[in-house]
Amino acid sequence: MRVILAEDSVLLRDGLVRLLQAAGLQVVDACPDAETFLTRVREHRPDLVVVDVRMPPTFTSEGIEAALKVRAELPETAVLVLSQYVEERYATELLAGRAKGVGYLLKDRVADTQDFIDALHTVAGGGTALDPEVVSQLMSRARNQDPLERLTPREHDVLRLMAQGRSNNAISKELFIGEGAVEKNVSSIFAKLDLAPTNVDHRRVLAVLQWLEHGEDE
């Protein structure tokens, strides 16, 4: 298995290289920053990448953003995030749509090196390896999240006018966009608010109710 690492701590990076090599994995490269990491991944197309979340230069989200780029550009490459932090928004994006060949482990909670190696093989084989604490925080975020936060500013405008009883034609005139564009925004609103088509409920009404429920009827 060919692996590329992204870890800014020299000691941890060298330790991971030795651990993976001892387990029979081929470490193609071990990178100190996200930019170098992405360059090496695009060049070598490894089977698996192991990425820290917070990396130079700002030590905020460079690592996990790089992991998201790998998922998007090289879907055949498995991704394991190894960090001290649970970046909830980015973790959700990492898992969204294709929760296969992906892992998110917390450094301080890896108690056994063999378990870690097993997790690498699981992820590389198309499986999922998630620390229970990561799962717990993501579930908590999902329970507490305002569904309207998923909407774009344009979708907010469309939904606001829907709440005022405007038709698609009236909305298109108010926002100076085509009626077809309004229809696309309305469909996107239904999807983001998890309003699937049914023979009983009127999705337009349900969307407006969610808007009113969250105090957005301005």
Domain boundaries, the chain: 2-144, 147-213
pLDDT of residue 183: 93
CATH fold of 2-144, please? Rossmann fold (3.40.50)
- The C-alpha atoms of residue 36 and residue 130 are separated, in whole angstroms, by 26
Q: Which H/E stretch holds residue 130?
A: strand 128-130
pLDDT of residue 198: 60
pLDDT < 50 stretches in the chain: 217-218
Q: What is the pTM assigned to this prediction?
A: 0.65
pLDDT of residue 203: 80
pLDDT of residue 43: 97
pLDDT digits (tens, 9 = 90+) for 138-195: 666 655 567 787 888 999 999 989 888 889 999 999 999 999 999 999 998 988 887 7
Class in CATH terms, 147-213: mainly alpha
Q: What are the helix (H) ranges across 23-97?
A: 34-44, 62-73, 88-95
pLDDT of residue 88: 76
Which one, of 15, 36, 17, lies nearest residue 26 by Cα?
17
E strands, the chain, in order: 2-6, 26-31, 48-51, 78-83, 102-106, 128-130
